[in-house]
Amino acid sequence: MSDSVMRTAGRSPDERAGRLSEIELSVNGRVRRLAVDPRTTLLDALRERLGLTGTKKGCDHGQCGACTVLVDGRRINSCLTLAVMHEGDEVVTIEGLGAPDDLHPMQRAFVERDGFQCGYCTPGQICSAVGMLSEVAAGWPSHATAAADAVAQRIALTDEEIRERLSGNICRCAAYPHIVAAVRSVAEGDAG
């Protein structure tokens, strides 16, 4: 913080200190240009700068999964990554997956199976589940995958697999059995 007292009249303190970084990234299919404090996490950029508050902050330390978003199709904890590291990336948040009158199949399955209660972990669970299903489709093994399946890169989506792969998403309301049911119903294509 040695430069913290650098001041020039007429500009915001951050601009005065020359501390903002310009970034450009795509969020939910729209190109967004931002000048951010380099310390800003992707999570806070989404919530506080872009008004996309559907992505939740539960711990800010990579321990709860509430902040899960899809970056270039892969799920990540957006609290554990800085916005400036995502120049040119394609970010999809819960708002980008679907809208109340146009639900994504995973969102619809969560409503139908009651895969949530308070709803705070839910955007993260849903983004995580969507990302997870593509990991399974790509044949990525998990701790719960049988060795032979891992070698063959053919994953049987057992309930164990779903649970293991979603364990980074804590639900304190403990909607777990219904989340697993929702994910399974999407994987089996009977969400409707």
Partner 1 sequence: MTGQGMTGQGHAGQGVIGRAVHRVDGPLKVTGRATYAYEHGAEDRPLYGYIVGATIGRGRLTRIDTANAERAPGVRLVMTHHNAPEQGPRDTSVPIEYWRAQPMLTGPEIHHYGEPVALVVAAAFEQARAAAGLVEVAYEERPGRYDFAALRDDTYVPKVVNAGLPTDTAVGDFDAGFRSAAVTVDRLYTTPYEFSMPMEPHACTAVPQGADLTVHVSAQIVDAALASVAATLRLDPARIHVVAPYVGGGFGSKLGIHAETILAALAARMVRRPVKVALTRQQIFQLVGLRPTSSQRVRLGADRDGRLVALAHDVTMHTNPDMEYAEQTAATTRSLYAAPHRLTSHRLTPLDLPRGEDVRSPGDAPGLLAVESAMDELADALDMDPVELRIRNEPTVDPERGVPYSDRHLVECLREGARRFGWERRPTRPASVRDGQWLVGYGTAAAIRGHFQMPTTVRVRLAADGTATVQSDMTDIGTGTYTILTQVAADGLGLPTDRVRVELGRSEFPTSMGSGGSWGAANSSTAVHRACHALRKRLLAAVREDTRSALCGLPWEKAVFADGRVRIGEASEALSDLVARHFPDGVQTTGETLAMTDDPHYSAYSIHTYGAHFAEVGVDADTAEIRLRRMLGVFSVGRVLNAKTARSQLIGGMIWGVGAALQEEGVVDVRTGAFATRDLAHYLVPVHADIPAVDAVVLDGYDDKANALGAKGIGELGICGAGAAVANAVFNATGVRVRDFPLTLEKVLPGLPPPEE
CA 156, CA 132: separation in Å to the nearest integer?
A: 13
Give least dist CB 100 to partner 1, A: 4
Q: Taking the CB of residue 169, how many other CB atoms lie within 10 A of it?
A: 26
Give least dist CB 61 to ligand FES, A: 6
List all residues 6 or more positions away from 9 whose beta carbon is below 8 Å from its beta carbon: none
> How many alpha carbons fall within 13 Å on the CB side of residue 161?
22
Give least dist CB 26 to partner 1, A: 18
Q: Which of residues 2-31 bind partner 1 (CB under 8 A)?
A: 4-5, 12-14, 16-17, 19
Question: Binding residue for ligand FES (CB under 6 A) from 57, 75, 113, 178?
Answer: 57
CA 192, CA 73: separation in Å to the nearest integer?
A: 24
Of the listed pieces 54-62, 84-92, 133-141, 150-158, which binds partner 1 according to CB under 8 A?
54-62
Q: Which of residues 98-127 bind ligand FES (CB under 6 A)?
A: 116-122
List all residues 6 or more positions away from 130 whose beta carbon is below 8 Å from its beta carbon: 70, 75, 97, 104, 106
Give least dist CB 138 to partner 1, A: 20
Q: Which of residues 100-139 bind partner 1 (CB under 8 A)?
A: 100-101, 103, 107-108, 110-112, 114, 116-123, 126
